[in-house]
Amino acid sequence: MYTSLTNRRSFIKKMAIMSAMTAAATMFPGIIFADEQERDLPNGGDLDWKKGPCRFCGVGCGVLIGVDKGKAVAVKGDPNSSVNKGLLCVKGYHQIMCIQAEDRLTHALVKKNGKYVQTPISEALDIVANKMKETMDTHGKDSVAMYTSGQSTIPEGYVASKLMKGAIGTNNLDCNARLCMASAVTGFLTSFGADEPMGCYEDIDHADYFITWGNNMAEMHPVLFSRMLEQKNRRGAKIIDFATRTTRSSMASNKSILFEPQTDLAVANAICYEIINNGWVNKSFVENHVNFNKGLTDMGYGLEDNYAFEDKPTPIDFEAYKDFLEDYTPEKVSKYSGVSVKDIKYLAEI
């Protein structure tokens, strides 16, 4: 991934090819391109490779950053990382471009007379510290807060915690995870009864079927997707892409099933209808681990102005759930979901 940068354009072109080859490899592990084309790609040269984590998403890939004269000029997946085993996704491959982006904030800016003025970092930090102190002196320690990022490293989080909780003595420390992970936790708790994703990377090595339900993993989580593909090729595990449009995930799957937007919950109900009516229910699992609640079946679109709805889930029993599913026979659902009766039955049989 390195060149002298004398010809930035040709370097960028090679990076574009490299990204495409990587994306291809996540869909078709073992894919081969002509030797002479691969030979032409930028290599590591005599760069100093530094280890680090990719901080773009929660997959947590290990990266190696090629440094030349103190400047990050190349990036590649860390082959020793058990998470990504040398692979990176397109975001990971492009992170050095962010480091060198022209519009990147590289120095402190302080607003003076309505305008941002470049200020030495020590002076800017003094301003922050003085303002915090002033506010605390007047209004108490809970009048200040720190809002950080879910992408903070563990040492950064530790220092932030020490400062806010240990030194200042307030609990006002939060980050953007409140908006994303906290809602995921609520979803996990209400759906699965535990506040964690219902699986781990190792499960991928044992699963027989993967259904990418409304999730274009080949492009969004290509590193994890490559693990699924590995199982597909090695053990014959099957990937079924269930989505509203054809994507790279559809191309790489064993079967692609398309549905009309906003109808997949009905398809899920039709799958349950089939399972129950064919006597495939795991009774002891249902008795021990499943609660049935009935709520609104039509809560509106949700994105209109002043949207509001009220819903109180009412507990029902299995028989009532079975009756409720009469509205969701594969034949009825097929009409508006665009998923054939055959495909609904196929999904139920898995």
Q: Which positions lie near ligand SF4, rule CB under 6 A?
A: 54, 56-57, 59-61, 84, 88-89, 91-92, 223
Contact 254, 229 (CB under 8 A): no
Q: How far is it, in rounded angstroms, from Cα 83 to Cα 227?
A: 10
Question: Which of other proteins, ligand SF4, none does 13 bind, CB closer than 5 to 8 A by kind?
Answer: other proteins
Strand partners, 49: 66
12 binds other proteins (CB under 8 A): yes
In terms of residues, how long is the chain? 350
Residue with tokens 């280890």: 51
DSSP string, 337-350: H---HHHHHHHHH-
Question: Which of other proteins, ligand SF4, none does 257 bind, CB closer than 5 to 8 A by kind?
Answer: none
Q: How many CB atoms lie within 10 A of CB 22?
A: 20
Q: How far is it, in rounded angstroms, from Cα 239 to Cα 255?
A: 7
Which C-beta is closer to other proteins: that of 65 or that of 229? 229
127 binds other proteins (CB under 8 A): no
Structure tokens at 263: 């109808």
Pairing between β-strand 209-213 and β-strand 238-243 as defined by DSSP bridges = parallel
Minimum distance from residue 161 beta carbon to ligand SF4 (Å): 24
178 binds other proteins (CB under 8 A): no
3-state secondary structure of 7: coil
4 binds other proteins (CB under 8 A): no
Rounded to the nearest angstrom, the gap between the alpha carbon of residue 124 and the centroid of all alpha carbons in its chain is 35
Pairing between β-strand 255-258 and β-strand 238-243 as defined by DSSP bridges = parallel
Give the closest residue to 333 by CA, choosing from 276, 237, 263. 263
Give the closest residue to 257 by CA, choosing from 265, 266, 267, 272. 267
Binder to other proteins among 68, 174, 219, 230 (CB under 8 A)?
219
Which C-beta is closer to ligand SF4: that of 15 or that of 59? 59
Contact 227, 210 (CB under 8 A): no
Question: Which of ligand SF4, other proteins, none does 174 bind, CB closer than 5 to 8 A by kind?
Answer: none
Which C-beta is closer to other proteins: that of 21 or that of 110? 21
| Encoded amino acid at 233, one letter | N
Which C-beta is closer to ligand SF4: that of 57 or that of 67? 57
The stretch among 13-21, 148-156, 315-323, 340-348 that binds other proteins (CB under 8 A) is 13-21
Q: How many CB atoms lie within 10 A of CB 177?
A: 16
Which C-beta is closer to other proteins: that of 13 or that of 131? 13
Binding to other proteins, residues 233-292 (CB under 8 A): 246-248, 251
Which C-beta is closer to other proteins: that of 94 or that of 294? 94
Minimum distance from residue 227 beta carbon to ligand SF4 (Å): 11
Which C-beta is closer to ligand SF4: that of 75 or that of 237? 75
Which residues are within 8 A (CB) of 14 and not within 5 positions of it... i.e. 6 or more apart?
1, 3, 40, 41, 42
Question: Which of other proteins, ligand SF4, none does 229 bind, CB closer than 5 to 8 A by kind?
Answer: none
101 binds other proteins (CB under 8 A): no
Minimum distance from residue 73 beta carbon to other proteins (Å): 15
Give the closest residue to 230 by CA, choosing from 53, 21, 31, 80. 31
Question: Which of ligand SF4, other proteins, none does 60 bind, CB closer than 5 to 8 A by kind?
Answer: ligand SF4
Which C-beta is closer to ligand SF4: that of 84 or that of 337? 84
Binding to other proteins, residues 19-58 (CB under 8 A): 19-21, 23-24, 27-28, 30-34, 37
Interaction site with other proteins (CB under 8 A): 7-9, 12-13, 15-17, 19-21, 23-24, 27-28, 30-34, 37, 90, 93-94, 219, 246-248, 251
